[in-house]
Amino acid sequence: MTELSLISTSNSKIASAFPSGLTAVFVGGTSGVGEYTLKALSKYVPRSKFYIIGRSKESADRIIRECTEQNHECCFEFINADISQLQRVDNVSRQIVAKENSINLLFQTQGTMAFKKTTADGLPLTAALGIHTRIRFIQNFLPLIQRAEGLKRVVTVGAGTCEGGIDLDNILAVGAPLLVFRDQLASVMTLALERLSEEAPDVSFVHTCPGVVDSGISRDAEGFSLKVMLFVSSLLKPLVSTPPAECGERHVFAATSGVYSPRKRVPNSTAFELAGLPLSRGSTGEIGSGVYSVGPKSEILPDKAILVLKEFREDGTTEKVWSYIMESFESILGTSKPVQ
């Protein structure tokens, strides 16, 4: 665990570390963790540009107004889009690629608990938002992230540190119990980030778990048992939840700190490092491996999960999972190549 005081100290140095500002893309930035992080980050980095991709213009307008009040030097652009379909992901990506030469940060939080819904692409909505659209956005923006100066990072907010078993006959965990679903998709995402890191070793990838926070992910929850569980959780929330301000600070740290360095480190090309905080242990168990799975209190990936992921690399599960996702892209989009 990293103390919040150290994280706040680190975050306070961001402006001096990135004097020219950043370009960041927030997918799902109109509520929950995305909103908290956007507000916190825009407070720290002047002269920065933020793209906010979401469905609620009303929420986006409110967030942009609040962010502008605390930092007049930042620029915000809202893209109103339901990105549950891959073609829409590509359309949004093309809009941004046409305007920007580089991107420092891609921050994704899109998700749902509507386990019974499927998209027009034929994918379970939970997997489409939690896996497919996230990987597609990363693919599309990775060339621009690699062109960035200073910070080159991808953050996906999901179930980091919960990595567990994968049923290769049901890679998307359709119909699985909630905790099995969570642990399996956590592994799928972390393995996919490792695969992407091989293509872009100069980019760092962080998979976080925010813990219990106020967000909109449960608004589409389906099924009596799930709603009962969420009700019970709401009663316990005051005891276990992470306040929005702390959640924002911790995710700004995940998005900027040099403790989460790329696998290929070039002097003065990554985010700064706060004195006293060493490089973090990555998903392979190695220090500074380039892919990091991080818990609600900024904990590192536990040994048990590291061993699980190690087995997946050794028995070919990683490649099977990656092939499955790329085949989905080929089937739906006609290509697995990123947009141009």
In a domain, 46, yes or no: yes
- When divided into structural domains, the chain yields a total of 1
Interval 144-198: pLDDT, tens: 999 999 899 999 999 999 999 999 999 999 999 999 999 999 999 999 999 999 9
In a domain, 98, yes or no: yes
Domain extent at residue 100: 4-333
Interval 98-135: pLDDT, tens: 999 999 999 999 988 788 899 999 999 999 999 999 99
In a domain, 85, yes or no: yes
Query: What residues are paired with 80 via a beta bridge?
Result: 54
CA dihedral 231, 232, 236, 241 (to 10 degrees): -50
CATH of the domain at 209: 3.40.50.720
In a domain, 139, yes or no: yes
Q: pTM value? A: 0.93
Interval 202-255: pLDDT, tens: 999 999 999 878 765 555 655 545 444 444 455 445 555 789 999 999 999 999
In a domain, 339, yes or no: no
Q: How far is the C-alpha of 28 from the C-alpha of 82, rounded, in Å?
A: 10
In a domain, 340, yes or no: no
Helices and strands in the chain, H and E counts: 12, 7
The mean pLDDT value for 54-60 works out to 94
Interval 13-54: pLDDT, tens: 898 888 889 999 999 989 899 999 999 999 999 899 999 999
Q: Are 258 and 269 in contact (CB under 8 A)?
A: no
* Interstrand relation of 75-80 and 204-208 (parallel, antiparallel or unpaired): unpaired
